[in-house]
Amino acid sequence: MNDLIDSIKSELESAALQSRKVTTFHFQVLKHASELEHIDKYEFCEMVGMKESFIAEFDKMMRLSRYLKGQDIVLAKVI
pTM for this structure? 0.89
Q: How confident is the model at residue 79 (pLDDT cuts 50, 70, 90)?
A: very low
50 with 12: CB under 8 angstroms?
A: yes
Q: What is the pLDDT of residue 78?
A: 57
CA distance 48 to 62: 16
Distances from the Cα of 64 to the Cα of 6, 13, 27, 69, angstroms:
23, 24, 11, 9
Closest CA to 54 of 65, 66, 44, 64: 44
pLDDT per residue as tens digits for the range 30-77: 999 999 999 999 999 999 999 999 999 999 999 999 999 999 888 776
Positions of E strands within the chain: none
Over 70: is that where the pLDDT of 9 sits?
Answer: yes
Residues in the chain: 79
